[in-house]
């Protein structure tokens, strides 16, 4: 066990630097010494930077301060399939190793922000595995219970944070490698939307599916890291731009939400996981969530394609030549996974893509009706002894709920939600549509606040969520007239995928008018300083991408602005320009458009 040199969470570390209680030159050598001592019994690092290798990074900070660089002096670890300039990249295969001249785009971003790499971490060879035992550099043991694995393939990265050696770490995720180790390490693991973080300078597992991921103690830290580094990269052909609804300020306090719960949940015989999952459902309900039963079967069917289809051949494109020329350089279990790859044909590739697209359409329709879906991150933990006896089957157990995410292009966050009787951490995953990363992190942060579980190192959670509401890819619109449910213009909302959230009232500060001229039967709602009352309204939700076309179709003098609701919330809604009230009829006394219509 480490004695925890310092609280390495981002905000706490920055405070220590600002106060002068600590400097990077004091912290990094101490962490390096501690990591070296730990590495003798638990091989977290494949390469720890030497003092000489650390010096350039420390030197670059000597003339800077914590108020100049957002990640000033923050120690981080790098999975050893991600390039760090001048340090060998092995992908846990010595025969494959090379020394890059430049760092991966994301690594360089972090260094430019002030972060300091402590070393390159152990992993399942070629990132093929979910357990952390498939490495010639040694088996990674769980930070809590030595009879269990750390999880993989990003085993060393997760351990570096769980053991208090780094503030955060980079992993990769193709089938769950950024989430399974988080679940087993009492960490938050962010598998962001594919392409939000650059994979330039990353040894691919499946290039079309790969994501670089963050491990941290809290969802709030993952949110900050994502906000700092989600940038489109011309060096990465799969890089994508981040929409503004997923910008850093989308991280906030969740409003009432709907979360999908599988109607059939598989725990593979675990006796403790069912109660822990029910506890997580109750926790989300207490946060304002409404559970909605969903069918997870099409998601699971998509997951099966990953190791049946041409994505195995995509993995083979990296290690295949080495397997053919020097098979003993690749671990037998990795060869057994990849050996069928040459059997796949070009036709197979398209056939599997067609099958995947069929599942994608079905799954997207399910996700359209909820804000996120809740699953266990793993159905049950497996022991090192079980992995040794049945390495492929037990590895598959760990990926039961993770394999479909990248195939279907979803964002996912693994978050701690409890502990098992033997002390092992247990967690859940929240997933949703692409570009809902900050929203999912908001829910994960709220869950951490609600459960208040001890963090890695027995630290207590003390960060607060921003008071602003969390945002996702859906926009809310308050309607008061012809767009109300059942009225003539409601189709304009439904055609755009709109969904009625609630019927409620405005605050008692509005007047309602029947406008003169123009299209018949138009209401105008105006905020007033006196003489107003609460007006019956509806809150609808529609995809943010559709809001622009809805707005441009609204005729003057109406428009969209901010409307205050009875509970004090401000939402986007219909408002009326005062000039449009000439000749209008004041119908405020009726309290709502439908009530006025019924009186005529």
Alpha-carbon distance 110 to 194, whole Å?
19
Q: Per-residue pLDDT tens, the chain, 600 aa: give them.
A: 444 457 999 999 999 999 999 999 999 999 999 999 999 999 999 999 999 999 999 999 999 999 999 999 999 999 999 999 999 999 999 999 999 999 999 999 999 999 999 999 999 999 999 999 999 999 999 999 999 999 999 999 999 999 999 999 999 999 999 999 999 999 999 999 999 999 999 999 999 999 999 999 999 999 999 999 999 999 999 999 999 999 999 999 999 999 999 999 999 999 999 999 999 999 999 999 999 999 999 999 999 999 888 899 999 999 999 999 999 999 999 999 998 899 899 999 999 999 999 999 999 999 999 999 999 999 999 999 999 999 999 999 999 999 999 999 999 999 999 999 999 999 999 999 999 999 999 999 999 999 999 887 555 666 689 999 999 999 999 999 999 999 999 999 999 999 999 999 999 999 999 998 766 678 999 999 999 999 999 999 999 999 999 999 999 899 999 999 999 999 999 999 999 899 999 999 999 999 999 998
- What residue spans in the chain does CATH classification 3.10.490.10 cover? 474-599
Beta bridge partners of 428: 376, 415
Asked whether the CA dihedral 67, 73, 77, 82 is positive or negative, the reply is positive
Q: Residue 590: what are its φ and ψ, rounded to 5°? A: -80, -20
> What DSSP letter does each residue of 551-588 carry, written as one string?
HHTPPTTEEEEEEEBTTS-EEEEEEE-GGGGTT-EE-G
What does DSSP assign to residue 436?
Answer: -
Alpha-carbon distance 100 to 113, whole Å?
21
Domain 10-259+271-451, second-level architecture: Alpha-Beta Complex (3.90)
Q: Are 590 and 599 in contact (CB under 8 A)?
A: yes
CA distances from 239 to 27, 175, 176, 314, 580 (A): 34, 19, 20, 18, 47
Catalytic residues, which ones? 79, 153, 177
- What residue spans in the chain does CATH classification 3.90.1300.10 cover? 10-259+271-451
Give the chain's radius of gyration (CA, Å). 26
Residue 172's CB: how many other CB atoms inside 10 A?
25
CA distances from 167 to 57, 181, 354, 376 (A): 16, 16, 42, 25
Cα 468 off chain centre by: 19
What does DSSP assign to residue 75?
Answer: E
Name residues whose C-beta falls within 8 Å of residue 329's C-beta, 6 or more positions apart in sequence.
Answer: 93, 94, 95, 96, 322
Q: Are 216 and 472 in contact (CB under 8 A)?
A: no
Q: Are 192 and 158 in contact (CB under 8 A)?
A: no
Model's pTM, two decimal places?
Answer: 0.95
* Candidates 3.10.450.50, 3.10.20.600, 3.10.490.10, 1.25.40.10; CATH matching 474-599: 3.10.490.10
Nearest residue to 254 via CA among 448, 435, 401, 418? 448
Q: Are 560 and 575 in contact (CB under 8 A)?
A: yes
3-state SS, residue 498: coil
């Amino acid at each position: 066990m480490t004695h925890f040199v310092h609280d390495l969470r981002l905000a706490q570390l920055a405070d220590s630097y600002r106060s002068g209680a600590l400097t990077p030159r004091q912290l990094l050598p101490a962490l390096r010494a501690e990591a070296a001592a730990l590495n003798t019994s638990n091989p977290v690092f494949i390469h720890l930077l030497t003092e000489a290798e650390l010096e350039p990074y420390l030197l670059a900070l000597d003339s800077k301060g914590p108020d100049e660089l957002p990640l000033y002096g923050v120690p981080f670890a790098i999975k050893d399939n991600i390039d760090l300039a001048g340090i060998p990249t092995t992908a846990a295969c010595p025969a494959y190793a090379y020394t890059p001249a430049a760092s991966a785009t994301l690594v360089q971003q972090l260094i430019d922000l002030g972060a300091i790499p402590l070393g390159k971490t152990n992993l399942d060879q070629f990132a093929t595995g979910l357990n952390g035992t498939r490495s010639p550099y040694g088996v990674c043991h769980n930070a809590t219970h030595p009879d269990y694995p750390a999880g993989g393939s990003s085993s060393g990265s997760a351990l570096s944070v769980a053991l208090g050696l780094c503030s955060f770490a980079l992993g990769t995720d193709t089938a769950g490698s950024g989430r399974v180790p988080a679940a087993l390490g009492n960490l938050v693991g962010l598998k962001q939307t594919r392409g939000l973080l650059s994979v330039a300078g990353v040894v691919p597992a499946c290039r079309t599916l790969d994501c670089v991921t963050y491990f941290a103690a809290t969802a709030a830290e993952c949110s900050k890291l994502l906000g700092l580094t989600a940038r489109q990269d011309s060096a990465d052909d799969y890089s994508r731009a981040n929409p503004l609804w997923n910008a850093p300020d989308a991280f906030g306090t969740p409003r009432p939400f709907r979360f999908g719960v599988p109607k059939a949940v598989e725990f593979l015989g675990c006796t403790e996981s069912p109660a822990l999952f029910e506890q997580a459902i109750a926790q989300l309900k207490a946060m304002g969530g409404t559970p909605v039963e969903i069918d997870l079967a099409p998601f699971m069917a998509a997951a099966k394609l990953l190791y049946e289809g041409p994505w195995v051949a995509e993995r083979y494109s990296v290690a295949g030549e080495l397997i053919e020329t020097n098979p003993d350089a690749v671990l037998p279990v990795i060869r057994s996974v990849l050996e069928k790859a040459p059997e796949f044909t070009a036709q197979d590739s398209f056939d599997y893509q067609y099958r995947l697209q069929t599942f994608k359409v079905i799954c997207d329709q399910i996700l359209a009706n909820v804000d996120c879906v809740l699953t266990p991150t793993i159905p049950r933990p497996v022991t090192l002894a079980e992995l040794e006896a049945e390495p492929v089957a037990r590895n598959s157990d760990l990926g039961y709920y993770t394999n479909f995410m990248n195939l279907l292009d979803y964002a996912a966050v693994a978050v701690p939600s409890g502990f098992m009787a033997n002390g092992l951490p247990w967690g859940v995953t929240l997933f949703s549509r692409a570009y809902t990363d900050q929203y999912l992190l908001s829910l994960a942060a709220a869950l951490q606040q609600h459960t208040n579980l001890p963090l890695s190192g027995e630290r207590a959670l003390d960060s607060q969520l921003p008071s602003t509401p969390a945002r996702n890819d859906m926009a809310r619109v308050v309607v008061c007239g012809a767009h109300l449910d059942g009225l003539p213009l409601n189709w304009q909302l439904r055609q755009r995928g709109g969904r009625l959230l609630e019927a409620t009232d405005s605050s008692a500060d509005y007047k309602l008018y029947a406008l003169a001229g123009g299209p018949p039967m138009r209401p105008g709602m105006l905020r007033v300083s006196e003489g107003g009352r609460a007006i019956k309204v509806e809150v609808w939700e529609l995809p943010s991408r559709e809001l622009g076309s809805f707005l441009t179709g609204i005729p003057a003098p109406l428009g969209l602005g901010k409307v205050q609701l009875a509970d004090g919330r401000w939402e986007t809604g219909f408002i009326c320009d005062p000039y449009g009230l000439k000749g209008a009829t004041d119908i405020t006394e009726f309290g709502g458009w439908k009530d006025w219509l019924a009186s005529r």
